[in-house]
Structure 1
Amino acid sequence: MTIPTEPIGSLPRSSALGQSLTAHASGQLDDSDLAKRQEQAVADTLTQLEGTGSPVLVDGEQGKPSFATYPVAGLSSLSPDGVVIPFADGHTRQLPCITEGPFRYQVRAETYLRAARQLTDKPVKQAVIAPSALSLLYPAAPIDGYSREDFLRDLADEAEADIRGCLDAGAHVVQLDFTEGRLSLKLDPSGGVLDDFIALNNEVLGRFSPEERTRIGVHTCPGGDQDSTHSLDIDYAELLPRLFQLKAGNFYLQLASEADPDRVLAVVQEHLPPTARVFIGVTDPIDPSVETPEQVRDRVLLAARYIPVDRLGTCDDCGFAPFADDASTSRDLAFAKIEARVRGTALAAQELGL
Structure 2
Amino acid sequence: MSLPTEPIGSIPRSPALLAGIADHAAGRIDSEALDSLYDDALRDTIATLESLGSPVVTDGEQTKPSFLTYPLAGLDNLAPDGAVIPFADGHTRQLPRLAKGPFRYGARSGEYLAAARRYATVPVKQAVISPSALSLLYPQDPIPGYSREEFLDDLVDEVEADIRGALDGGAHTVQIDFTEGRFSLKLDPSGGVLRSLVELNNRVLARFTDSERARIGVHTCPGGDQDSTHSLDIDYTALLPHLFAVNAGVFYVQLASEADPDRVLATIATHLRPDQRVFVGVTDPIDPVVETPTQVRDRVLRAAEHIAPDRLGTCDDCGFAPFGDDTSTSRETAFAKVRARVEGTALAAESLGA
**Equivalent residue for 2:154?**
154
Corresponding letter in the other structure for 1:348 = A
**Equivalent residue for 2:269?**
269
Shift of 1:27: 2.9
Structure 1 outlier segments of 4+, above 3 Å: none
Once residues 289 and 79 of structure 2 are traced to their aligned partners in structure 1, the CA distance between those partners, rounded to angstroms, is 39
Once residues 185 and 32 of structure 1 are traced to their aligned partners in structure 2, the CA distance between those partners, rounded to angstroms, is 44
Render the CA deviation track for 1:21-73: whole Å, top value 9, x for unaligned: 11222233333322221111000000110111100010000000000000001
Corresponding letter in the other structure for 1:272 = L
Once residues 21 and 187 of structure 2 are traced to their aligned partners in structure 1, the CA distance between those partners, rounded to angstroms, is 33
Shift of 1:332: 0.4
**Equivalent residue for 1:82?**
82
The aligned length equals 354
**Equivalent residue for 1:201?**
201
**Equivalent residue for 1:36?**
36
Shift of 1:310: 0.3
Once residues 32 and 98 of structure 2 are traced to their aligned partners in structure 1, the CA distance between those partners, rounded to angstroms, is 27
Once residues 24 and 240 of structure 2 are traced to their aligned partners in structure 1, the CA distance between those partners, rounded to angstroms, is 41
**Equivalent residue for 2:353?**
353
Once residues 207 and 347 of structure 1 are traced to their aligned partners in structure 2, the CA distance between those partners, rounded to angstroms, is 39
- Give the RMSD, CA atoms, in angstroms: 0.8
Shift of 1:121: 2.2
Give the TM-score taking structure 2 as reference length.
0.99
Render the CA deviation track for 1:280-305: whole Å, top value 9, x for unaligned: 00000000000000000000000000
Once residues 293 and 156 of structure 1 are traced to their aligned partners in structure 2, the CA distance between those partners, rounded to angstroms, is 41
**2:262 counterpart SS class:** helix
| Residue 310 in structure 1 maps to residue 310 in structure 2 | yes
Render the CA deviation track for 1:130-179: whole Å, top value 9, x for unaligned: 01000000011111000010000000000000000000000000000000
Once residues 167 and 134 of structure 2 are traced to their aligned partners in structure 1, the CA distance between those partners, rounded to angstroms, is 20
| 1:245-260 map, 5 Å | 245-260=245-260
Give the TM-score taking structure 1 as reference length.
0.99
For structure 1, list consecutive stretches of 5 or more residues without a partner in the other structure: none
Corresponding letter in the other structure for 1:267 = T
Shift of 1:232: 0.2
**Equivalent residue for 1:13?**
13
| Residue 342 in structure 1 maps to residue 353 in structure 2 | no
| 1:17-96 map, 5 Å | 17-96=17-96
Corresponding letter in the other structure for 1:104 = R
Corresponding letter in the other structure for 1:121 = T
Once residues 172 and 275 of structure 1 are traced to their aligned partners in structure 2, the CA distance between those partners, rounded to angstroms, is 18
**Equivalent residue for 2:119?**
119
Identity %: 69
Shift of 1:92: 0.3
Structure 1 range deviating more: 160-169 or 35-44: 35-44
Render the CA deviation track for 1:59-113: whole Å, top value 9, x for unaligned: 0000000000000011111111000000000000000011111100000000000
**2:128 counterpart SS class:** strand
Once residues 264 and 137 of structure 2 are traced to their aligned partners in structure 1, the CA distance between those partners, rounded to angstroms, is 31
Once residues 29 and 237 of structure 1 are traced to their aligned partners in structure 2, the CA distance between those partners, rounded to angstroms, is 49
| 1:128-167 map, 5 Å | 128-167=128-167
Corresponding letter in the other structure for 1:53 = G
**Equivalent residue for 2:282?**
282
**1:13 counterpart SS class:** coil
For structure 2, list consecutive stretches of 5 or more residues without a partner in the other structure: none
Once residues 274 and 154 of structure 2 are traced to their aligned partners in structure 1, the CA distance between those partners, rounded to angstroms, is 32
Corresponding letter in the other structure for 1:36 = S
